A and B are shown apart, each in its own frame.
Chain A
Amino acid sequence: MHTKSVAQLVTGLRERQFSSVEVTRAYLDRIDALDSQYNSFITVDEAAALAAAGVADERLASGAANALTGIPIAHKDIFCTDGVRTSCGSRMLDNFVPPYDATVIQRFKSAGAVLLGKTNMDEFAMGSSNESSFYGPARNPWNTDLVPGGSSGGSAAAVAGLLAPAATGTDTGGSIRQPAAFCGITGLKPTYGRVSRLGIVAFASSLDQAGPMAHSAEDCAFLLNTMAGHDPLDSTSSTVATEDYCATLGDSLEGLRIGLPTEYFGEGLDVATGECINDALKELEAQGATLVEMSLPHSALTIPTYYIIAPAEASTNLARFDGVRYGYRCENPVDLHDLYSRTRQEGFGEEVKRRILVGTYALSAGYYDAYYKKAQQIRRLIKQDFMHCFEQVDVIAGPTTPGPAFALGAKSNDPISMYLEDVYTLAVNLAGLPGMSLPAGFVEGKPVGLQLIGRHFSEARLLNVAHRFQQATDWHLRTPDSAKGGTL
């Protein structure tokens, strides 16, 4: 059961080969048996999941099933879930039970999906290793001494460990793609505004975007069909029409022009990782695509630009955590100032505080022009690089990360070396483009991710390229040894 794809589960449920309660029970049993080695879930409510599965079975029996009726899905603990604790990986929200659903959650519920549980993540989605979680790091199913990546590390580990058929994530600078690469799964960050941000705990509002994480591009397409669409309650939600992202998965790649930015293949890229990427590109070439060398000249500036803009927006967004309306509150505050400053001292972890301080500094009087405005100007130059390239090519390809997953603790005391992990993913968020990562091989048993970047709103094309690649390769079907135990 747990080795079936979302597409197979949908068919099996419709054909009454098994029930949603059976599928959900199977995954809950696996979580129970195996998640002590991954720590991929923060909250699992078995009774609620089984009750939702029971309702789904009734709908299936009455022929009233929707797109995902009966499919258990894990959600990153950043999506507000009505009545289910939403911690965002932070002590600050350890006791937070939202009174409403994020639009994404609502859409999954309307589609009939079962909420399997809430997955581990870096605190407030700030991190590339899951080590900043208040609940301890999630671990990589391919080798539990390695990080699963971040910030959606729990979602990636849960899918890779076959504890959920699919999951949601969010991506502000690589937080879907990098953990997908490290854990050997497929993840898509849609165009900015494609998926509603309402009810997603905000990190950097001009960069945040939610997307699907699953084994295959086909399963990601299934999920995106449910997730994407205009939301009048999110003022930055796009009104561009959505597509049926499953409809064009099998289209030919004949004539596809793929751009290879020289900056993504140069110094800093692990040699063996680069070889996997080159082999993957040869496969796409064999299917009729043309490879075109090109340049994104401002690539070296993406890390400094991001580390102004993201902390600046975070410092503003995280001002809401004040110990007054919800979440953590320090004990025995002597006055209002003490209430605010001690609540925030005790409720936030180190990396979150660091980013709030950097962001507050960059926005403060006298520094605004030198930092924030400057970064916004360079952000435009970075976007223009991509726009120029997309005049010549349809898709841009390269590695998702400079190398495979690293060991737990290897970078946790060095913020800058952690920031460098996102060197190939940040620009996509700055430019608002869709990007995805798909499994493209292994280096010493560790998965490697191929990144595809497309024009704004070209999710269907990216999924098409990824699906065609996955029809000819089996990297996405490999299972880590640690996931082979458990029931069924």
Chain B
Amino acid sequence: MIMAIEQGEIEKVAELSRIRISDEEIGQVTERIAEILQMVDQLQAVDTHDVEPMANPLDATQRLRPDEVTQSNRRDAFQAIAPAVENGLYLVPKVIE
């Protein structure tokens, strides 16, 4: 069985998810997620020895296509909806001092 999740673990997962959670919220968020994890914990009791995991409901595998250019370049249309662009580049806060 899996142990109940602790607040520190939620903080770690929030960091991995790049979602800031305020100090006021973290207690309640932990509580709710603990409830969900407790609910899903019943899966642990099922014997799945020799059962192949199923990623696609039709057990389809990735289709391949010829390596040819099929799409036109629409950079301007896609960048027109970006929060900040300059000279064809997406702008973010400075990452190198």
Residues of A that sit less than 8 Å from B by CB: 96-99, 192-193, 206-207, 232, 235-236, 238, 300-301, 303-305, 307-308, 315, 319, 322-326, 329, 333-342, 344-345, 348, 353-354, 356-358, 360-361, 364, 367, 370-371, 373-381, 383, 415-416, 419, 429-433, 456
Given A354-B29, A357-B19, A358-B37, 10 other A-B residues pairs in contact with their CB atoms under 8 A: A98-B81, A304-B40, A339-B92, A357-B10, A357-B13, A357-B29, A360-B13, A361-B13, A377-B51, A456-B58
Q: Would you give the 0/1 interface string for B7-43, flagging 1 where the beta carbon is closer than 8 Å to chain A?
A: 0011001111111111000000100110111011111
A352 to B56, CA, bound (A): 23
A433 to B32, CA, bound (A): 31
Most chain A C-beta atoms within 10 Å of own C-beta, residue among B36, B51, B55, B63? B36
Q: Across the two chains, which residue of chain A brings its CB closest to B12?
A: A364
Q: How large is the interface on B (under 10, 10 to 19, 20 to 34, 35 or more residues)?
A: 35 or more
Given A323-B83, A357-B33 in contact, is the A379-B16 Cβ separation under 8 Å? no
Given A324-B82, A333-B93, A341-B19 in contact, is the A354-B33 Cβ separation under 8 Å? yes
Given A333-B93, A336-B95, A339-B93 in contact, is the A357-B57 Cβ separation under 8 Å? no
A416 touches B35 (CB 8 A): yes
Q: Across the two chains, which residue of chain A brings its CB closest to B53?
A: A376
> Which residues of chain B are near A303, meaning CB under 8 Å?
39
A305 touches B43 (CB 8 A): yes
State the Cβ distance, B9 to closest chain A Cβ, in Å: 7
B17 touches A357 (CB 8 A): yes
Q: Across the two chains, which residue of chain B brings its CB closest to A359?
A: B17
B39 touches A304 (CB 8 A): yes
> Which residues of chain B are near A323, meaning CB under 8 Å?
83
Given A99-B77, A193-B60, A326-B81 in contact, is the A371-B19 Cβ separation under 8 Å? no
Q: Across the two chains, which residue of chain B brings its CB closest to A362?
A: B40
Given A304-B40, A305-B43, A357-B29 in contact, is the A373-B35 Cβ separation under 8 Å? no
> Which residues of chain B are near A419, meaning CB under 8 Å?
39
A360 touches B17 (CB 8 A): yes
* Residue among B5, B56, B74 making CB contact with A236, cutoff 8 Å: B56
* Residue among B57, B90, B93 making CB contact with A430, cutoff 8 Å: B57
State the Cβ distance, B37 to closest chain A Cβ, in Å: 7
A305 to B35, CA, bound (A): 15
State the Cβ distance, B2 to closest chain A Cβ, in Å: 6
State the Cβ distance, B59 to closest chain A Cβ, in Å: 9
State the Cβ distance, B79 to closest chain A Cβ, in Å: 8
Say yes or no: is B87 at the interface (Cβ < 8 Å to chain A): no
A432 touches B51 (CB 8 A): no
A361 touches B54 (CB 8 A): no
State the Cβ distance, B39 to closest chain A Cβ, in Å: 6
> Which residues of chain B are near A340, meaning CB under 8 Å?
18
A380 touches B52 (CB 8 A): yes
A171 to B65, CA, bound (A): 28
A432 touches B57 (CB 8 A): yes
Main secondary structure on B side of the interface with A: loop
A377 touches B54 (CB 8 A): yes
Say yes or no: is B73 at the interface (Cβ < 8 Å to chain A): no
> Which residues of chain A are near B84, meaning CB under 8 Å?
329
Residues of B that sit less than 8 Å from A by CB: 2, 5, 9-10, 13-22, 29, 32-33, 35-37, 39-44, 46, 48, 51-58, 60, 62-63, 65, 74, 77-78, 80-84, 90, 92-95
> Which residues of chain B are near A236, meaning CB under 8 Å?
56, 60
Most chain A C-beta atoms within 10 Å of own C-beta, residue among B19, B20, B74? B19
A409 to B78, CA, bound (A): 39
> Which residues of chain A are near B39, meaning CB under 8 Å?
303-304, 307, 416, 419
State the Cβ distance, B36 to closest chain A Cβ, in Å: 6
B2 touches A232 (CB 8 A): no
A378 touches B43 (CB 8 A): yes
* Residue among B18, B36, B54, B83 making CB contact with A376, cutoff 8 Å: B54
Most chain B C-beta atoms within 10 Å of own C-beta, residue among A98, A319, A378, A419? A378
> Which residues of chain A are near B22, meaning CB under 8 Å?
345
B17 touches A356 (CB 8 A): yes
* Residue among A344, A377, A429 making CB contact with B17, cutoff 8 Å: A344
Given A232-B65, A361-B9, A381-B48 in contact, is the A307-B40 Cβ separation under 8 Å? yes
CB-defined A-B contacts under 8 Å, sample of 15: A304-B41, A308-B43, A315-B17, A324-B92, A337-B18, A338-B93, A339-B93, A340-B18, A341-B15, A360-B17, A361-B13, A378-B43, A380-B52, A415-B35, A416-B39
B51 touches A361 (CB 8 A): no
Given A193-B58, A342-B20, A432-B57 in contact, is the A358-B81 Cβ separation under 8 Å? no
B36 touches A358 (CB 8 A): yes
State the Cβ distance, B26 to closest chain A Cβ, in Å: 11
> Which residues of chain B are near A336, meaning CB under 8 Å?
92-93, 95
B40 touches A308 (CB 8 A): yes
B83 touches A97 (CB 8 A): no
Q: Across the two chains, which residue of chain B brings its CB closest to A97?
A: B81
> Which residues of chain B are near A304, meaning CB under 8 Å?
39-43
A207 to B44, CA, bound (A): 22
> Which residues of chain A are near B18, meaning CB under 8 Å?
319, 322, 337, 340-341, 344
